[in-house]
Amino acid sequence: MPDIFAPPQMPFMGSCSDMPFENAEAVLFAAPHGTPYEGVDNESYAATADALRKALQPDAEWVEHWDFDLGGPLLGSNDFKLMDAGNLATSSLDGAGNRALIKRAVQRILDAGAVPIMIGGDDSTPIPFIESLAPKGPLTIVQIDAHIDWRDQRRGEPRGFSSTMRRASEFEHVEAIIQIGIRGLGSARAQEVKIASDWGAKIITAQMLHNDGIAAALRHLKKDANCMITFDCDALDPAIMPAVTAPTPGGLSYTQMIDIIAAVNKKANLVAFDLIEFVPHLDLNGTAAITAARIITNVIGNLARR
């Protein structure tokens, strides 16, 4: 298979960029673009992954130090092997080509026996990512997001960022969808909420989570289920995550987010993770990039401890 990755200029904290895929236990890669909508500019996501890599670069030399989020060093005590494969050469206008690249990337990582971690662009990039996880099915999706994304199509496009969970619900290997942090106003109408509910999706609003804790969501997750987390940065409150296209008050805290990651990893078999919708030019002082990158490190740290 020809190489489809461009090596990163600076690997993500704790990772190696020249490790053979077969030696890695988790492989991080970036897919800047998914399936575009006509008239919607998604070029800004080209800079997302490198912004997150850069955010933690000052901490990279301290990777063996104690991380109090994780109760020990990032990579644990078992020599966890993390690879940063770099960025896929996606194009802002080539939806079909982008989907094919993401599928090839995930297939390569799964064939090597590693856990794929994707830094995505817009909210359509998880569609081919989830589709490629068929070998890990039956699969439970834990979506952490402000929006349910159940539109059948928008602007004539069925694979765009408003349709992620609708398309995921059609994949035979997806058996459950748990949606956490939903709030405010999005593209969903009454019929999309009903379709999601009738399919069996469990919608846990941000208010429910604030009132009842993460147990409100985790009670729907079957023990030892194969599970992937898809995390949209707009799930976080805009006070700590302003670098999104649709900031909505009342979002999750950083602590709630990392508690969910730890709880999912403890109860289920975490087989994949993606982070999407981080818009670098909206991060005016760089702190949002640190927050997003730290969420990825918590995923890595939890994988290293299971």
User: What contacts 278, CB < 8 A, 6 or more positions away?
Assistant: 45, 48, 51, 52, 119, 233, 243, 244, 288, 289, 292
- Do 278 and 52 touch, CB atoms closer than 8 A? yes
| Per-residue model confidence (pLDDT) at position 38 | 84
CB count in 10 Å sphere of residue 172: 9
Q: Is the model's pLDDT at 297 over the cut of 90?
A: yes
Residue 106 pLDDT class (50, 70, 90 cuts) = very high
β-strand partners of 142: 178, 229
Q: Is the model's pLDDT at 142 over the cut of 60?
A: yes
Identify the burial level of 284 via C-beta atoms within 10 angstroms of its C-beta, where 0-12 means exposed, 13-18 middle and 19 or more buried.
exposed
User: Residue 259 and residue 187: Cα distance in Å, rounded?
Assistant: 28
Query: Comparing 29-43, 161-175, 191-205, 218-232, which segment has the lowest mean pLDDT?
Result: 29-43
| Per-residue model confidence (pLDDT) at position 3 | 84
* CA-based max dimension of the chain: 51
Residue corresponding to tokens 């969970």: 165
Pairing state between β 269-276 and 115-120 = parallel
Cis preceding linkage at 135, omega within 30: no
Tell me which of 41 and 104 has the higher pLDDT.
104
Handedness of CA 215, 217, 222, 225 (dihedral sign): negative
- Do 84 and 17 touch, CB atoms closer than 8 A? yes
| 278-300 average pLDDT score | 97
Residue 1 pLDDT class (50, 70, 90 cuts) = very low
Q: Which amino acid is at 49?
A: A
Q: Is the model's pLDDT at 306 over the cut of 90?
A: no
User: Residue 98 and residue 96: Cα distance in Å, rounded?
Assistant: 5
Q: Is the model's pLDDT at 2 over the cut of 70?
A: no
| 129-141 average pLDDT score | 97
| 122-126 average pLDDT score | 95
Closest by alpha carbon to 88, among 78, 98, 96? 98
- Do 119 and 27 touch, CB atoms closer than 8 A? no
Q: Is the model's pLDDT at 62 over the cut of 60?
A: yes
Closest by alpha carbon to 222, among 302, 142, 136? 142
Token pair listed for 298 = 């918590």
User: Residue 97 and residue 182: Cα distance in Å, rounded?
Assistant: 31
| Per-residue model confidence (pLDDT) at position 268 | 98
Token pair listed for 225 = 């289920």
User: Residue 61 and residue 227: Cα distance in Å, rounded?
Assistant: 32
Q: Is the model's pLDDT at 91 over the cut of 70?
A: yes
Delineate the domains of the chain, giving CATH numbers in brackets.
5-303 (3.40.800.10)
| Per-residue model confidence (pLDDT) at position 78 | 84
To the nearest whole percent, how much of the chain has pLDDT over 90?
91
111: Cα separation from own chain's centroid: 20
| Per-residue model confidence (pLDDT) at position 191 | 96
- Taking only the tens place, the pLDDT of each residue in 198-247 is 999 999 999 999 999 999 999 999 999 999 999 999 999 999 999 999 99
| Per-residue model confidence (pLDDT) at position 69 | 97
Identify the burial level of 103 via C-beta atoms within 10 angstroms of its C-beta, where 0-12 means exposed, 13-18 middle and 19 or more buried.
middle
